[in-house]
Structures are given as structure tokens and as C-alpha cells.
Amino acid sequence: MLLRIESLAKTYHGLRERRVLREVSLVLGAGEYIAVMGESGIGKSTLLNLVAGLDRPDAGRILLDGAELGLLDDDALTRLRRESMGFVFQAFHILPYLTVAQNVALPLLLADAADTATPVQAMLEAVRLGDRGDSLPRELSGGELQRVAIARALVHRPRLVLADEPTGNLDPESAAQVLALLRERVKSVNAAGILVTHSHAAAATADRVLILGADGLRPA
């Protein structure tokens, strides 16, 4: 299995202790694309942060391609994210002073890739933006910007793609196009994908839908 989550738990300690996740387990193989739904505040984004190694669980294990995230130091986690993960968020996080092509190339530049132009252009073609590489972000629509974000997330052929409410800022037509494209692209590189969403329409594009509740994940 590409991703294995075992009995994950997370509690935030402060003025008021708040348990966010409890007994969360999941097995995900290459080529699988799932949606995670649940009530607001139940811990969907926290789950993605833990899987990405951006936060540490209180209990349980996360293994990506056999590597246990909890045993890696910060430098190793950073390398793992750069090499093996792709991220798509509700906020596009496109750098406004870079061209579309330069934005998409960022993961390759971080990995010191010898050739960036070829894979960037191929990915732009794949997301139907082949003629927009020299454009600045301000010249694109919201749907087009999210397609740029998808291209950037997948240009380095990650093993795992994490998408957190990626269509929350889009109109229904653009959202449908982006969701179809995200699924298509994840499948095309044989990655595993986790889509976090509150939208039943968005979740319906996944291979299977899981509901995150107080006692873990269950099938919808």
C-alpha cells in the first residue's frame, strides 16, 4: 500500500483541551482517489496536515511508501513533501509576480531538476493551459488559476496528492471542470489522492467517500 494510517489521534491543548482526531485508520493504494467528508471542525484539514507531516499526531502511525513519518526529522520530512507530495488548496497560493510557467516550475526548481521547461509545458498542455505559460496570474480566471495550482501540484509526479476544499472559491461550472481535471491528472500519474470537501458533488468524483467522525473514518 502507498499510504497507511494506523489509529491516528490528535488533541490540541490550550485553555480548553480539544480532541480533534481519534482512532483514524486508512489504507490507500496507488491510483486510488478518495474523498473525505465530515462536519465543520471535525478535523478534516488536521488530518491532511498530519499526513503531510506538517503536524505530529499524539498517537498512531503514518507510513508513506513504507517510510514512517513519525521517525523522520524535519529535514527528511521537507524532502519527502518536496519529492513525494502535491498540494491543492482552496486558496490558489499562486505567486502573483511569477508567470504561469514559473509558478508551475517551482517544485522542479526546489528539486534541482535539470530540465524544467519540458515537464512544465507538458503539464500546462494537460490542464488545457498550454498557451498561457507566459501569462501573469492576474490575467487568468479563478478556474484557470486553480488549474495552474493542479499543474504545479503534479508536475513533479508526486506519489500522494492532498486537496483541501480545492473548489471552494469557484463557481459551479468552473468547480466541475477543476474536479474532473484533478481526478484525471491524479490517475494519469498513478498517484494516490485525498480530496477533503464539504460538497457532495465534489465527493461524487472520487472512487469512494469516507466520513470523518468522532471515532474515525467510516464509509459514506
Backbone phi and psi for residue 20, each to the nearest 5 degrees, phi listed first: -100, -45
Most distant CA atoms of the chain, gap in Å? 53
Residue 15's pLDDT is what?
65
- Given pLDDT bands bounded at 50, 70 and 90, which one contains residue 41? confident
Give the C-alpha separation, 82 to 88, whole Å. Answer: 14
Q: What pLDDT is attached to residue 42?
A: 92
pTM for this one?
Answer: 0.93
Residues 170-205: pLDDT tens digits? 899 989 999 999 999 899 989 999 999 999 999 999
Beta carbons of 24 and 7 less than 8 angstroms apart:
yes
Query: What CATH class is the domain 3-219?
Result: alpha beta
Residue indicated by cell numbers 503531510? 52
